[in-house]
Structure 1
Amino acid sequence: MGDTTGSPVPRTISRRGFIAGTGSLLGAAALAGRTPAAWAQTAPVAPIPSGAHVAALVIGTGYGGAVAALRLAQAGVDVHMVEMGMAWDTPGSDGKIFCNTREPDYRSYWLRTRTKAPLNYFLGFPIDRDIPRYTGILDAEEFGGITVYQGRGVGGGSLVNGGMAVTPRRENFGAVLPSVNPDEMYNVYYPRANAELGVGTVDPAWFDSTACYQYARVGRKHAQRSNFPFVFVPDVYDWDYMEQEAAGTVTKSALAGEILYGNNHGKKSLQQTYLARARSTGRVSVSPLHRVTSVAPASGGRYTVTVEQLNTTGAVTTVKTVTADRVFFAAGSVGTSKLLVRLKATGALPNLNGEVGRGWGDNGNVMCGRANHLWDPTGALQSSIPCCGIDNWAAGGAFAEVAPLPTGIETYASFYLSITNNPNRAQFSWNAAASRVDLNWQAAWKQPSITMAKTIFDKINSKEGTIYRTDLFGTYKIWGDHLTYHPLGGAVLNKATDNYGRLTAYPGLYVIDGALIPGNTTVNPFVTITALAERNIEKIIATDL
């Protein structure tokens, strides 16, 4: 899902050479293009037992948690990962692990009885449908004023995003992580993250000729006619596999509309990269369908962790207590922030500082569509993996991903997810009366994002004589301003934590995910989350272990 500007992997490095030439990626290269089940073939079946003691407990299996688990294991530390979602290693009755975007079923949403698609209208008609309640892959978590989309399962957000793997432009980095040395990030940790994630770029010649990117070529033409820079954006999809999909020699995945609820073949999610390598060390085990509810100090400098085991209806089947020497919070920006705010407010970790819960942002996400003329068809066949965008960050504070609309029919529509320089930040707080954590985001705070996105699309519409689509997010509603794919912040680096993610009041507790990043990365965030985790865990291993 959405991604943005940045410095793509240079085309002087071929995508084959970039992947195959990286020694640390041998395991991932071997797994590229295989089904997600491959990662777990030798993973332990038994979940963590009550009463267990572990050296390192990692809460969550997304980007930050996967980095921590791999590097700790390589340093000789035994790691147990606790994941609220499912393992996603077993096919359903249709023989596929993940369901299709166009036909969401019980696998699609986390404990909902009706789908809540980001684009939930078409031609002005609602398209959400009833589904059985199940621990599905996409969580549409609703707060006041905003819906936050998050991946649920072993692999976290890597399961449900579009894989656009973007390194921020260096000149923008100081606004992203002001306390971090950019030299070490751009010389060491961004390259390391890109190599481990298996990042590559579409072949421009193939892009120019294939039917499945006609929609993106229309986006390029309109951008360039309005004098906006058009850029190719790196991705973790296996581009060789996609070319084979187009040739009809392999099972279709990106060309079958698979993206929002998982991708069955070509995408290199964390299951194929960091988590596969972590598993291969023999020191990492994972308990899916386990949710951490408490972390509290125990004797000997350890921590008592309370964990609920869930079934696929979301019911708690067992409550377990385990002990950990060190705990890494990697439940995602929302999950980590909510847990820390609750633990501080309810007295489990009362000495967490007052910055916990603050600095949360939506990465400036806003969506829109444009109605093209009949001479600009966008194609019935559209790859679900975006690969390019329109860059107006320096002049207008916006970058627009040219996004797919893989309906399977010709729509004559151009669709975009913009990342904008929205300055608004929200705070998580404990609601004692309701016994829950609230977020004080306000719907009106999206207006700066709309204003910044309009710097691109008003100009394109004027040049092309086109109009905004008003049938994609409701009835006569232009902007998808109700959501984010990119939650960031809530436990900001060098504020809620020290400059390496340590929760300093509690030695042995760490934050290592997107909660550390204060609300905006100027680009799709997962490469920055990964690189920052690489930086932090290297320091933690060197000094704390």
Structure 2
Amino acid sequence: MRDHRSAATPDLTRRGFIAGAGTVLGVAALGDRAAADAPAARSGVAPAIAPIASGARVPVLVIGTGYGGAVAALRLAEAGIPVHMVEMGMAWDTPGPDGKVFCGTLQPDHRSYWLRTRTKAPLNYFIGFPIDRDIPRYTGVLDAEEFAGITVYQGRGVGGGSLVNGGMAVTPRRENFASVLPTVNAEEMYSVYYPRANAGLGVGAVDPAWFESTPWYQYARVGRKHAQRSGFPFVFVSDVYDWDYMEAEAAGTVPKSALAGEILYGNNHGKRSLQRTYLARAAATGRVAVTPLHKVTSVAPASGGGYTVLMEQLDTTGAVVATKALTADRVFFAAGSVGTSKLLVKLKATGALPRLNDEVGRGWGDNGNVMCGRANHMWDPTGTRQSTIPCAGIDNWAAGGAFAEVAPLPTGIETYASFYLSITANPHRARFTWNAAAGRVDLDWQTAWKQPSITMARSIFDKINSTEGTIYRTDLFGAYKIWGDHLTYHPLGGAVLDRATDNLGRLPGHPGLYVIDGSLIPGNTTVNPLVTITALAERNIAKLLPTDF
């Protein structure tokens, strides 16, 4: 048996790591033994929690603790610059009464959702019956933020989206990169920044031999068989799960996480979230502090230089228990595509940052997300045991504009169903605008704009159904509803690079303000976006450090 190392260990297992970052499977070797062995890396405890005081002055404030913000904090700290991070969500470092930090997918409780009194599961029906349930209002880990036409799922807590995503860490194919970030040098990204991001994230891949033998990926093997019989390329994709740990889960020698159905509301053990990689390494520098449960409401030029930042301190019911004002010499907006876009649109419209340009709020997309299920024959069971970490997909991007994750449906019973999350080349882009009458930011997305995504996904699944003699499931998203077209897991854009910002994320007209998260990417990455967000942040901060700091 392999030794089951902690997150972000650099040593190569007998599986090895895939080397070519220019392919859809491209990853690099992992980094930094010291970071991996730090207590925060082992336990997932949020790093350097230190509530900020009103009246403080900090050299750098990072708003948000997701992928872009974690990269900025680490690299600035390594350069000797003190950094303070503020996070709207919780630290997620304290077990609940059940001894676990996060609750399970099938038993959502108060820890599951951000300030809701009823769950809003992405897949909210099963066998035609609604499965959402009432829960106590709490600052839970998953936000189902509702706009007209779409629900956007986002992570809430120190670590951002890394807490709640499936961890699929996919580098876009080189030939697709020009459509993702057209003004960024592809050679630099694929030779330097994608490998750097994959190393920092602790990306690895499932052992092919174990994949073939384990009952936990029977559902993926069925998906492979159906894809290949219809002539579609089936590809393994890398992930930020500790695959050695998962094998130990299967052997029964460690507590189960991915094999206990944990994914949607956090993962208690094996996942390499940012708490165990970038943020743990940032904490190890001694120059990064994090203040959770604080929501930034304003950023405006300060009379003595820098920026006055106003924020609200929240309790776990979402109530405001204090307001604070501090000064930051420089501010990085890293609150995610939705959070950053909403804040910048508000600040421009209300006059706090009047010199922001008219591109702020534009270019937002859903990464072409659409979900569906297929009803398989009785001789094609997908298994009662299903790992919640996807490790494979169907790549029909070149021919049909769709890349489909073969996703788990971890109900604990045999469903005879294959489930998929597709990423498609949907061309529609929405805009955030300030609604002065309501005092909020709106998004003008329309549900009808999902139709191109459905058409592109059908380029895969209509053919598979025809080949296999199967049909679509109609009981997963409502009565007789085939497509999950009401949501996205992958919000992108709203402060697009070289439009709302310059080529490195600087906000024109306001020196010392930067954007460094998924809002820089114009709506689509052709695959799961976490590696591209991280790599772009690595690129931008590497170029900003010698010029701006």
TM over 0.5: yes
- The equivalent residue for 2:239 is 235
Is the 1:32–1:238 Cα contact (8 Å) retained in structure 2? Answer: no
| Equivalent pair of 2:69/2:516 in contact (CA under 8 Å) | yes
User: In the superposition, relative to structure 1, how do residues 489 and 12 fare at CA in structure 2: closer, same or farther (>3 Å)?
Assistant: farther
What is the alpha-carbon distance in structure 1 between the residues aligned to residue 16 and residue 347 of structure 2? 48
Kindly provide the amino acid, as one letter, of the partner of residue 28 in structure 1. Answer: A
For 2:222 and 2:31, locate their aligned partners in 1 and report how far apart those are by CA, in whole Å: 38
Please tell me the residue identity of whatever aligns with 2:43: T
Deviations 1:404-431 (A, max 9, x none): 0000111000000000000000000000
The answer on whether the counterparts of 2:258 and 2:387 sit within 8 Å (CA) in structure 1 is yes
1:369 aligned partner, one-letter code: G
> Which residue of 386, 391, 397 maps to 2:401?
397
Change (3 A) 1:21 1:316: same
Report the CA distance between 1:19 and its aligned residue.
Answer: 9.9
Superposed displacement of residue 27, structure 1: 1.4
Task: Provide closer, same or farther for how the CA distance between residues 502 and 240 of structure 1 changes in structure 2, counting only shifts above 3 A.
Answer: same
Partners of 2:433 and 2:443 within 8 A in 1: yes
Two-structure CA RMSD over aligned residues (Å): 1.8
Alpha-carbon distance in 1 for matches of 2:451, 2:86? 38
**Contact 1:33–1:266 (Cα < 8 Å) also in 2:** no
Which residue number corresponds to residue 98 of structure 1? 102
Residue 307 in 1 paired to residue 315 in 2? no
Residue 291 of structure 2 corresponds to residue 287 of structure 1: yes
CA contact (8 A) 1:177 1:518 kept: yes
Residue 14 of structure 1 aligns with an amino acid whose one-letter code is G
- 1:211 counterpart = 2:215: yes
Other-structure match for 1:486:
490
Q: Deviations over 1:265-317 (max 9, x none)?
A: 00000000000000010100000000000000012431000010000000000
Q: State the 1:28 CA deviation.
A: 2.9
| 2:413 aligned residue (395, 409, 413) | 409
Structure 2 letter corresponding to 1:241: Y
Deviation at 1:20, TM superposition (A): 11
SS for the counterpart of 1:380 is: coil
In structure 2, the partner of 1:157 is 161
- For residues 99 and 264 of structure 2, the distance between their equivalents in structure 1, rounded to whole angstroms, comes to 18
Q: Secondary structure, in 3 states, of the residue corresponding to 2:366?
A: coil
| Offset of residue 21 of structure 1 | 5.6
Amino acid at match of 2:414: E
Q: 1:520 aligns with which of 524, 528, 531?
A: 524
Give matches, 1:25-174, under 5 Å.
26-28=34-36, 34-37=42-45, 39-40=46-47, 43-44=48-49, 46-174=50-178
Deviations 1:331-382 (A, max 9, x none): 0000000000000000000110000000000000000000000000000000
Match of 1:7 in 2: none
**Counterpart amino acid of residue 51 in structure 2:** P
**Aligned-partner Cα distance in 2 for 1:12–1:522:** 31
- Is the 8 Å Cα contact of residues 298 and 352 (structure 2) preserved in structure 1? yes
The counterpart of 2:370, out of the listed 366, 369, 376, is: 366
Corresponding residue number in structure 2 for 1:197: 201
Alignment partners' CA distance in 1, 2:133 and 2:39: 35
List gaps (5 residues or longer) in structure 2: 1-11, 20-25
- Letter of the aligned partner of 1:322 in structure 2? L
For residues 191-247 of structure 1, give each alpha carbon's deviation from its aligned partner in whole angstroms, at most 9, with x where no partner exists: 000001000010111000000000000000000000100000000000000001111
SS of residue in 2 equivalent to 1:301: coil
Match of 1:3 in 2: none
Counterpart contact for 2:219–2:418, Cα < 8 Å: yes
In the alignment, the residues of structure 2 paired with residue 153 and residue 533 of structure 1 have an alpha-carbon distance, to the nearest angstrom, of 20
SS of the equivalent of 2:36 reads helix
Which of 325, 332, 335 in structure 1 is aligned with 2:329? 325
The 8 Å contact of residues 28 and 198 in structure 1, kept in 2 or not, is answered as no
Counterpart in the other structure of 1:6: none
CA contact (8 A) 1:305 1:324 kept: yes
Following superposition, the deviation at residue 13 of structure 1 comes to: 7.6
Report SS of the residue matched to 1:271.
helix
Task: Map Cα deviations across residues 129-185 of structure 1 (whole Å, 9 max, x no partner).
Answer: 000000000000000000000000000000000100000000000000000000100
Aligned equivalents of 1:312, 1:364: Cα separation in 2: 33
Is the Cα contact below 8 Å between 2:85 and 2:289 reproduced in 1? yes
- Answering whether residue 509 of structure 2 is matched by residue 505 of structure 1, we say yes
* Aligned residue number for residue 419 of structure 1: 423
Q: Is the 8 A contact 1:303 1:323 kept in 2?
A: yes
Q: Percent identity at matched positions? A: 80
Q: How many residues align?
A: 532
Q: Contact 2:404–2:423 at 8 Å: present in 1 too? A: yes
In structure 2, the partner of 1:447 is 451
The 3-state SS of whatever aligns with 1:434 is coil
CA distance in 2, matches of 1:271, 1:19: 20
Q: Which amino acid aligns with 1:123?
A: I
Question: Could you tell me whether the CA contact under 8 Å between 2:110 and 2:136 is conserved in 1?
Answer: yes
CA shift for structure 1 position 34: 3.7
Distance 1:238 1:31 in 2: 17
Pairwise CA distance, 1:29: 6.3
Deviation at 1:31, TM superposition (A): 6.8
Counterpart of 1:250 (choices 249, 254, 259) is: 254
Q: CA deviation at 1:504?
A: 1.6
For the residue of structure 2 that corresponds to 1:515, the secondary structure is helix
Instruction: Measure, in 1, the Cα distance between the counterparts of 2:510 and 2:285.
Output: 29
Aligned partner of 2:110: which letter? Answer: Y
- Aligned partner of 2:538 in structure 1 is 534
**Amino acid in structure 2 at the alignment position of 1:27:** A
Partner of 1:473: 477
SS of 1:58's partner is strand
Shift in CA distance, 470/20, structure 1 to aligned 2, threshold 3 Å: closer
Distance 1:236 1:135 in 2: 25
* 1:431 corresponds to: 435
Please tell me whether the aligned partners of residues 242 and 254 of structure 1 are also in contact (alpha carbons under 8 angstroms).
yes
How big is the shift at 1:540?
A: 1.1
For each residue in 1:44-68, what CA deviation from the matched residue of structure 2 results, as whole angstroms up to 9, or x when unmatched? 4x40000000000000000000000
TM-score of the aligned structures, taking structure 1 as reference length: 0.95
Change (3 A) 1:49 1:11: closer
Q: Partner of 2:4 in structure 1?
A: none
- From 276, 279, 282, the equivalent of 1:275 is 279
Distance 2:29 2:298 in 1: 43
Match of 2:16 among 11, 14, 27: 14
Report SS of the residue matched to 1:433: coil
Please tell me the residue identity of whatever aligns with 2:303: S
Structure 2 distance, partners of 1:510, 1:141, is 24
SS in 2 for 1:86: coil
The Cα offsets for residues 61-100 of structure 1, whole Å up to 9 and x where unpaired, read as 0000000000011111110000000000000000000000
